[in-house]
A = this chain, B = another copy of it.
Amino acid sequence: MRRTLLVALAASTLSTAAAAQSDLAERVRRYREGNEVAIVRELADLLALPNVATNLEDIRTNARHLVGMMERRGIGARILETDGAPPAVYGELKTPGATRTIVFYAHFDGQPVDSSRWRGDPWKPVLRSGALGPGVRDLPLVSPSGRYDPENRIFSRSASDDKSPIVAMLVAIDALRAARVPLSVNLKFFLEGEEEAGSANLRTILTRHRDLLAADFWIFGDGPVHQTRAAQAVFGVRGVIGANLTVFGPIRPLHSGHYGNWAPNPNVMMVHLLASLRDLEGRITIPGFYDDVAAPTAAEREAYRAMPAVDRQLIGELRLGRTENEPASLAEQLALPALNLSGLAGGRAGSGGANLIGAEASAYLDFRLVPNQTVDRVRSLVEGHVRRQGFHVVATPPDSATRRAHPKIAMLTWSGGYPAARTGLDSPGSRAMLAAADGVLGRSIIRVPTLGGSLPLADFVEVLGARFAILPIVNHDNNQHGENENLRLQNLWDGIELYAGVLARMGREWQSVP
């Protein structure tokens, strides 16, 4: 997962004591307790393979290793090659009598490392007694007792992001087989090999293998669980598009005493323009901006109401005296489009403050999009609004003639950009998956209609018509992308149970949803 996208959206209101667990969970747990060393070894063997996406041979080695892991389990597996791109891995496990097919997604490439910041080699997995800190000890990878303290952690690149969900899913299959519980769905695997490098070939791969990847539902294993360590299912992400905005003053900085009040001040133009874009309550004031925004569904409204309320805790932690658009909750606000004014720069402020009129002022804006909004329409609305404020809009720095010809000039350059993706909580697949997860957990999994953050899941929706949920398992404090990335063993154990429950029940639940 490219950014820390699955952060705390709710504080757990669940008691850690209570909550009866299902029979299935107990049986999966017994299997795991009898096989902890083997599971840790299988994970460690996978982690020992360097996996930065820019090294194609490394990625291919990982892919072959994954094919082997699947084949040992009777899963039909193969490498999906794309010219010049890191390969992906496909796997397929048919279930007699199953009428539904799900695809499990994870990526097996990892972020580049700065080895000098790691304690040890990023691709020599180390078991330690807990998170790094005073008193933490290195432990033998093979536990002499055959069991591990569940607070032990494995340190290695991709220990959490994203190799361990793959192992959890495969071990879930092993556990179900050991317990003689049949899968309730046909299962496919789509394992990506260049997610951390930006998924440049993802759309091509999905398009080329459209038939192979046909399915009723996608489950994404990427990302961390809730910060309270409770499981969560996430049904959407906001889209995103970034804009660099620059407005222009005199061709060179001027003394503010000798020219101030006469030479147009780009900082002044900028603050007036930006103030016209949104208000203090998060409402975007560009005419028409909300026209194509989908209202939350009844199921989403219900989910917002049911989500653990984290607002009060966050307000204290962040030392806020207000939030935008009170009394709307964080979760409700994140389901709306947003215009974030992420960066402002012009002239000299702070300790280097100088009395000058700068030559230009710049701002970085990011728009977060919700279902039905398109990148193109947002760009067009913004550019139209800037024009209506009297600006000549350009995409490259204006030359002298352009500067002379226009009273106000704004340069807009757009970066990235993809739409939101969301699957209804009340879609049949969503309801089946939620029922399966609730069943194995013995309580309600946290339902998150959408992340505030963004992932390019729209590719799956647009190319494949995918419906999906993100069902993460790893600890939130995993140092994802940084040095000393790690997986807490209890998260792996819990993940095996959650995935086993979904595999065992989702198909059956689906039959009973209307």
Contacts and interface: CB of A to CB of B under 8 A. Distances in A.
A221 to B, nearest CB: 20
A343 B347 contact: yes
Contact of A268 (B258, B269, B280, B345): B280
Contact of A262 (B250, B282, B403, B415): B282
A257 B334 CA distance: 8
A313 to B, nearest CB: 13
B257 A350 contact: no
Contacts of A452: 255, 257-261
Contact of A349 (B280, B317, B343, B407): B343
A324 B354 contact: no
A261 B244 contact: no
Nearest to A392: B321
A333 B328 CA distance: 47
A261 B349 contact: no
A250 B343 contact: no
A337 to B, nearest CB: 8
A256 B368 contact: yes
Interface stretch (A56-64, A188-196, A358-366): A358-366
A250 B355 CA distance: 29
A321 B259 CA distance: 15
Interface residues of A, number: 90
A491 to B, nearest CB: 21
A248 to B, nearest CB: 8
B258 A322 contact: no
Interface string A321-353: 111110010100110101011111111111011
Contact of A271 (B274, B356, B403): B274
Contact of A261 (B255, B333, B352, B363): B333
A106 to B, nearest CB: 21
A341 B407 contact: no
Contact of A272 (B259, B265, B275, B406): B275
Interface in A375-415: 400, 403-409, 415
A156 to B, nearest CB: 25
Given A275-B271, A368-B260, A407-B321, A355 B342 contact: yes
A67 interface: no
Given A263-B324, A322-B408, A341 B268 contact: yes
B362 A263 contact: no
Contact of A257 (B319, B361, B451): B451
Interface in A303-327: 315-325
Number of copies of this chain in the oligomer? 2
B363 A330 contact: no
Contacts of A406: 321
A267 interface: yes
A66 interface: no
B338 A261 contact: yes
Nearest to A252: B318
Given A268-B280, A274-B271, A319-B251, A341 B347 contact: yes
Contacts of A338: 256, 260-261
A254 B328 CA distance: 19
Interface string A403-435: 111111100000100000000000000000000
A3 interface: yes
A251 to B, nearest CB: 4
A21 interface: no
Contacts of A258: 5, 7, 9, 334, 451-453
Contact of A364 (B252, B315, B354, B357): B354
A29 interface: no
Contacts of A260: 282, 334, 338, 340, 366, 368, 452
B322 A349 contact: no
Given A261-B334, A344-B344, 12 more contacts: A255-B453, A256-B338, A257-B452, A261-B333, A261-B340, A261-B452, A267-B341, A268-B278, A271-B274, A319-B403, A321-B404, A343-B346
9 contacts: A257-B452, A259-B330, A262-B334, A263-B324, A315-B404, A341-B347, A343-B346, A344-B344, A345-B346
Interface of A: 3-5, 7, 9, 238, 240, 242, 244, 250-252, 254-265, 267-272, 274-275, 278-280, 282, 315-325, 328, 330, 333-334, 336, 338, 340-350, 352-358, 361-364, 366, 368, 400, 403-409, 415, 451-454
